[in-house]
Structure 1
């Protein structure tokens, strides 16, 4: 339950509901002690509104802002990602891609008797289970090549920004 002072402050500030305002107005008409408290709080509120707020000096503001600038800024969540995780994922992709490229190079027919190289792969070497078809392997290779090109582009752009 609110105290009488709290009800009066809410009434003066206009923060009370209509029911509370009607109750306070009724108390102001009937209760002399409530009227005296209301007059006291009302005069205090008027004096409070008349006082000027003190502002800190410009030197103080400058010193505080200077100290804030010198403090270490918190790292964003993006900067807090552990680089070892990223390098581990990149290494696994590179190893898988390297293995697939080694198998593809080993199975390539390098004879040039017909005038062109035959790059047909023996996909039976890639069959780990029945779930991997020729299309799935080609899609995986395509994805790995795109990821490799994007990574190379990122690294080259990063190096060019540093220099």
Structure 2
């Protein structure tokens, strides 16, 4: 420990048993040779024993406990997550994504050419694979615009719901 620390701080650490072994040896040597250190050590040791014998921690009064409980009850306790998350929003988002996936599947299946052929002929199989690779699965612009319109409307509805909830919280 730094020898520049005040005598009291070093002695308190010695009394409490928090000083290192080398520091403890140095303090013991100072206590054996220096009278001011001995006098200060005796004062601090008496104070330490007095604190251990006579000072007991007091229990807080009943009024204090009651006021703490009242202040806790006065503040609004945060509800569990499932009570403040609107289930309709979650169901709406899930429905939108499921309908989008279903729409893409229906569109993709409608674009396929369903014709029966001889599966044993490898040339026809490569012809079918080539046809699948050349199939254009891009959405026509009218479908794309309709999809974007639905997304924007749902986003505006979500924004409206969030703003209404914030307004309700401010008034309550």
CA shift, 1:68, in A, is 1.8
CA shift, 1:77, in A, is 8.7
Deviations 1:52-103 (A, max 9, x none): 2222112321220232243233578999999979965763453132232255
Farther-moved stretch of structure 1 (79-88 vs 91-100):
79-88
Q: How many residues align?
A: 117
TM-score scaled by structure 2? Answer: 0.50
Q: Which residue of 1 aligns with 2:6?
A: 3
Q: Which residue of 2 aligns with 1:132?
A: none
Q: Which has the higher helix share?
A: 2
| Residue from 21, 25, 29 that aligns with 1:26 | 29
CA distance in 2, matches of 1:124, 1:92: 27
Q: Which residue of 1 aligns with 2:99?
A: 94
Q: Which residue of 2 aligns with 1:148?
A: none
Gaps of 5+ in 2: 115-130, 139-172
CA distance in 1, matches of 2:25, 2:71: 52
TM-score scaled by structure 1? Answer: 0.53
CA RMSD in angstroms comes to 4.1
Structure 1 residue 58 and structure 2 residue 62: aligned?
Answer: yes
Structure 1 residue 13 and structure 2 residue 32: aligned?
Answer: no
User: In structure 2, do the counterparts of structure 1 residues 25 and 68 end up closer, same or farther at CA, with 3 Å as the change threshold?
Assistant: same
CA shift, 1:19, in A, is 0.6
CA shift, 1:42, in A, is 1.0
CA distance in 1, matches of 2:60, 2:104: 69
Which protein, 1 or 2, shows the higher relative CO under an 8 Å CA cutoff with sep ≥ 6?
2
